[in-house]
Chains A and B, each alone.
Chain A
């Protein structure tokens, strides 16, 4: 990895992955979005507006926090947490929705549709729609509605219409299907705010760019504290947006080891997991070529994770590529390990992480234990765990 990293190419490909595999009805919108995004990149006013909202509305920059108790517990490398849980609405998702909502407004689209898994992206979308006075429709799987009730209510409070999706396993994949169908039908006045680095080009690029603020800040903050680059980065992966946001600014820094953590659900040896890289193979879903959990005949399988935000049978095209070229190491963490890390961080640091982020914490503790005390790890704490408290109560019987 010595040459500069400049992907995707102009057709939206990351090596063999990505692309624009969408129905013809959407092509005009997808091409328009790309043009408008390129114009916005060069537009000082747009960038100033974005920066202002990121600072004053989202609350950036977020702290880079040295978790001393967790470090002590792991007994090896120092563990820093990039506190995306402290963003307005409680997760990294809003970094992307602010940018995309501004794009929608620029394109004269007053209506927004989005999918959501954990509800964090739905809440972040509903929030910016309230702010910018855009109409907002959110598709959410029936099972996810059950396990993330708090977020469903938040979206409704914010003025969004939440539509339950019964199809399939009633989780994120099914919500994306319905959101895409809705977009196909209402494309003329509606923008689709995709919530992760997936979908047709230019979404994986746009979402990555908006999320890269995580890695850019981290690089600067870490340098201020330690005067060098971190030794390792760790982040959890659903579609892959908080992770690529942290990783991307470090891709050319080859001394930095990068770890992406997929959800192993009940275990990689079972059928019930969401580890698309460990257990899947390349294929096409939701507009992109990427690694997918699928059967022999190419039917997409239902994913499983205790965390709604990781419960997706694919992984974004850029991650698929970074996996193949072995720039990023992809690992998997089970439901049980994540639950343990959830409680560990709560008790040791007074920080209740999102169940998604708990996957990253679980792996980081293992990783730190095997590294020297002079080494440093940065973990993306992608969101806070209030939304998951009910799930944890059900699972643990209320901790006694």
Chain B
């Protein structure tokens, strides 16, 4: 899905509807221009149990704006030609269930979406929606975490499409200053078991962390920090953060 061409990828996350639906297109185009390899688009949910305070608050703001999954798909469909990088939806399961599984997969595909991340859909339950996603050529991006045993990582890796999302903390989303010492072992382990790219996410918030973590995997996903910077109107800072991946890639070439 993501064409790495030997490069490392920076994948930002934004909350759809935070700041108003009319800002979604602008943000997507801006992140594309900054050098994002793909963009994760969060759909707000009333009960986001995998998310920390920053994304929870962004979700509440987006819900206050009246944001729905349907609005987001309609919006993106209108300008999908202007976006050349993959768009990935990150949504809890219930908004999809309420939408209707088949209808959702069709509409997402038509809006040019490449894949979905569904944080409350583990391996055990994915048959519930996989056929609909498959029929509409949407990848299901699966997560592995520090608590996932090796045998299970193997099983998840064997089914993986698009990329594997390696969760860098035992915990919820939110910017962090430090990562545990086992993180490098974990990423190297997932990398060795996976045939698709491995992207690390949860808690990554600085250019220094991007550089460090990219040594052990194929790229990073940055959520809370990007959401926060958009909310503060710090667009230059976003450019700098997303741009940090260019430094990483130049060093690989050198």
Q: Does B158 contact A (CB under 8 A)?
A: no
Complex: A296 Cα to B66 Cα, angstroms: 12
Q: Does A168 contact B (CB under 8 A)?
A: yes
Q: Does B149 contact A (CB under 8 A)?
A: yes
Residue of B nearest to A287 (CB): B120
Q: Does B243 contact A (CB under 8 A)?
A: no
Complex: A278 Cα to B202 Cα, angstroms: 39
> Which residues 40-59 of B sit at the A interface, judged by CB distance below 8 A?
45-50, 52, 56
Q: Does A298 contact B (CB under 8 A)?
A: yes
Complex: A168 Cα to B46 Cα, angstroms: 8
Q: Does A19 contact B (CB under 8 A)?
A: yes
Contact A299 B63 (CB under 8 A): yes
Using A25-B147, A184-B49 as known contacts, say yes or no to A297 and B70 having CB atoms under 8 A apart.
yes
Contact A284 B167 (CB under 8 A): no
Complex: A23 Cα to B45 Cα, angstroms: 15
Complex: A22 Cα to B50 Cα, angstroms: 9
Residue of B nearest to A289 (CB): B97
Q: How many Å from the CB of A202 to the closest CB on chain B? A: 12
Pick from A22, A25, A168, A296: contact of B98, CB below 8 A: A296
Contact A180 B49 (CB under 8 A): yes
Complex: A173 Cα to B47 Cα, angstroms: 8
Pick from A188, A283, A301: contact of B97, CB below 8 A: A283
Pick from A177, A188, A286, A292: contact of B147, CB below 8 A: A188
Using A24-B122, A297-B68, A298-B95 as known contacts, say yes or no to A185 and B45 having CB atoms under 8 A apart.
no
Contact B94 A23 (CB under 8 A): no
Using A167-B56, A299-B95 as known contacts, say yes or no to A24 and B68 having CB atoms under 8 A apart.
no
Q: How many Å from the CB of B69 to the closest CB on chain A? A: 6
User: A187: which B residues are within 8 A, CB to CB?
Assistant: 147, 170
Contact A286 B152 (CB under 8 A): no
User: B46: which A residues are within 8 A, CB to CB?
Assistant: 168, 299-301
User: A19: which B residues are within 8 A, CB to CB?
Assistant: 124-125
User: B9: which A residues are within 8 A, CB to CB?
Assistant: none
Q: Mark B131-158, 1 if CB is under 8 A from A, else 0.
A: 0000000000011111111001000000
User: B20: which A residues are within 8 A, CB to CB?
Assistant: none
Contact B124 A24 (CB under 8 A): no
Q: Mark A335-375, 1 if CB is under 8 A from B, else 0.
A: 00000000000000000000000000000000000000000
Contact A181 B149 (CB under 8 A): no
Contact B119 A23 (CB under 8 A): yes
Contact B170 A184 (CB under 8 A): yes
Complex: A22 Cα to B125 Cα, angstroms: 10
Using A27-B152, A28-B147, A298-B95 as known contacts, say yes or no to A184 and B47 having CB atoms under 8 A apart.
no
Q: Does B34 contact A (CB under 8 A)?
A: no
Complex: A187 Cα to B167 Cα, angstroms: 15
Q: Does A228 contact B (CB under 8 A)?
A: no
User: A180: which B residues are within 8 A, CB to CB?
Assistant: 49
Q: Does A121 contact B (CB under 8 A)?
A: no
Q: Does B193 contact A (CB under 8 A)?
A: no
Complex: A180 Cα to B143 Cα, angstroms: 18
Q: Does A294 contact B (CB under 8 A)?
A: yes
Pick from B69, B92, B125, B172: contact of A184, CB below 8 A: B172
Q: Does B96 contact A (CB under 8 A)?
A: yes
User: B171: which A residues are within 8 A, CB to CB?
Assistant: 25, 184-185
Complex: A25 Cα to B202 Cα, angstroms: 12
Q: Mark A15-54, 1 if CB is under 8 A from B, else 0.
A: 0000111111111110000000000000000000000000
Contact A22 B120 (CB under 8 A): yes
Complex: A185 Cα to B94 Cα, angstroms: 23
User: B94: which A residues are within 8 A, CB to CB?
Assistant: 283-285, 292, 294, 298, 300
Q: Does A385 contact B (CB under 8 A)?
A: no
Residue of B nearest to A167 (CB): B56
Q: Does B99 contact A (CB under 8 A)?
A: yes
Pull 10 A–B residue pairs with CB atoms less than 8 Å apart, ordered by A.
A22-B122, A23-B122, A23-B143, A27-B122, A27-B148, A184-B170, A296-B68, A298-B99, A299-B46, A300-B47
A187-B147, A284-B97 provided; 10 other pairs, C-beta below 8 A? A21-B121, A24-B148, A25-B146, A27-B122, A185-B172, A284-B92, A297-B68, A297-B69, A298-B69, A300-B94
Q: What is the interface of chain A, defined by CB distance below 8 A to chain B?
A: 11, 19-29, 167-168, 173, 177, 180-181, 184-188, 282-287, 292, 294, 296-301
Nearest 4 interchain pairs by C-beta: A298-B98, A298-B95, A185-B171, A297-B68
